[in-house]
Amino acid sequence: MAIAKQPAGSDTRPPFLDGGVKRMLIDGRWVEAASGKTFSTVNPATGQELARVAEGDREDIDRAVAAARRAFEGPWRKTKPFERQLLLLKLADLVDSHLEELALLDTLDMGAPLSRTRAMRLRAVGMLRYYAGMATAIHGETIENSLPGEYVTFTLKEPVGVVGAIIPWNSPTTATLWKIGPALATGCTVVLKPAEEAPLSSLRIGELLLEAGVPAGVVNIVPGYGETAGAALAAHPDVDKIAFTGSHLTGQKIVQASAGNLKRVSLELGGKSPDVVFADCDLETSVPGAAMAVFSNSGQICSAGTRLFVEQRIYDEFVGRVAEFGRGLKVGPGVDPDVQIGPLVSEAQLERVTGYLETGKREGARPVSGGERYRDGELAKGYFVPPTVFADVRDDMKIAREEIFGPVISAIPFRDVDEILRRANATPFGLGSGVWTQDLAKAHRLARGIRAGSVWVNCYQAMDPAVPFGGYKMSGYGRESGLQHLEEYLNVKAVWIKTG
């Protein structure tokens, strides 16, 4: 595997990282935490501090929720759809013109290579333009009722209110926009809590929101830890909905915390997605496809196709080729534009992933490539794990059952369609899934048979703002993107008018 050296000039810091404390956005102003506390955010490629960030807690959340409530009940409530559309289009233009900077902040803060973060332009800007379009397309319906007498009945779609948005670190810019976009389109207000590992691009987007003219209090951004700021937001009695993305364990806590005021909840959680390769697949596209279904973003993608099921007849050849592909990827600090695989986000994540590597070996899986973190040279200073392929994996092994969230493929052989459907579905999760075949009948059978929110055939992780994304089973409920995403932020009110 090629190992990149840090290129000259790659320590360039965007102007946003000016050495000052990064404050939180409440009611249109940048403020310190009520406690005065700050926390450190670190570059995972070097282990060095990038910035200190205001550490929000309950009191800050209270202030942010109060600001969001005031904004929701103030003039924002009366803005016309086309005005919200215009705001979203301005924000889209600002994100477009600052994409390089946001890409660099994501890269520095959570490690993904520039080759990946720069490529988010279409998705980030496209999402905002999609929600801008939807802002003027929200409508209720008139319904013919059968009551005696004369009644007119129709429905109104109304914004659900104050939304608490809690996001993970694995794609900070797009995760931020994915929550804020539908809120602005529907007329909700937001308190966003970024992940403590990577809060910088959310805060920079906060500046762009103000520049776009989003009124004070409509979007508030409170960085801080999950157990404090996040928990306070999830339990807050004046929050109407939580839009959460993260692990299923935190998702369960969010549901419990929401019980106090029975707020609405949508959950985008993790997975252990099956990626099924039939012997009739096109090897030229399915080898890199199946490899990058896991190695992209160092495996830190919720829908990564980590259970790689390969038809027995081509198992050895296919697994060998995927391992070889992994060895050919360039690993290094994400600021090197040629790097394809960056570090894991944090030391904690490194420990978690290396723990799974050890467990895999102990359980009898055979590492065909990778299998250990880098211990020598420059890469030993950061949180780097090479693309790893385990062969001889059985369904009951821990590495085949639990989400690792690292660049680790568990390759498992199978024999026929009925068997693979049963085994692919033998998981408590249901987020993504892949099928590689040239046989249309097999593709259709699996597309219908797999219990997961997305099935990708002869591709993996394709995403579009108009196409719904979300989970079955313990991968969560609710959908993001698509028409259904707007509905998650809307209440339906029935109006009855007796006319005779």
Contacting positions for ligand NAD (CB under 6 A): 166-170, 193, 195-196, 225-227, 230-231, 234, 245-247, 250, 253-254, 268-270, 302, 403, 405, 431
Question: Is the CB of 167 or the CB of 214 nearer to ligand NAD?
Answer: 167
CB of 483 to ligand NAD, least distance (A): 18
Question: Is the CB of 85 or the CB of 266 nearer to ligand NAD?
Answer: 266
Q: Rounding to the nearest 10 degrees, give the CA dihedral for residues 207, 209, 215, 220.
A: -70
CB of 481 to ligand NAD, least distance (A): 10
Question: Is the CB of 253 or the CB of 442 nearer to ligand NAD?
Answer: 253
CB of 499 to ligand NAD, least distance (A): 46
Among 188, 197, 281, 302, the one annotated catalytic: 302
CB of 128 to ligand NAD, least distance (A): 18
Question: Is the CB of 315 or the CB of 405 nearer to ligand NAD?
Answer: 405
CB of 256 to ligand NAD, least distance (A): 9
Residue 281 a catalytic site member: no
CB of 59 to ligand NAD, least distance (A): 16
Distance in angstroms (rounded) separating the CA atoms of residues 310 and 323: 14
Q: Could you give the angle at which helices 99-110 and 81-97 cross, rounded to 10 degrees?
A: 70
Question: Is the CB of 231 or the CB of 412 nearer to ligand NAD?
Answer: 231
Among 55, 196, 197, 268, the one annotated catalytic: 268
Nearest position to ligand NAD, beta carbon: 226
Question: Is the CB of 166 or the CB of 490 nearer to ligand NAD?
Answer: 166
Question: Is the CB of 191 or the CB of 391 nearer to ligand NAD?
Answer: 191
CB of 308 to ligand NAD, least distance (A): 17
Residue 302 a catalytic site member: yes
Enzyme catalytic residues: 268, 302
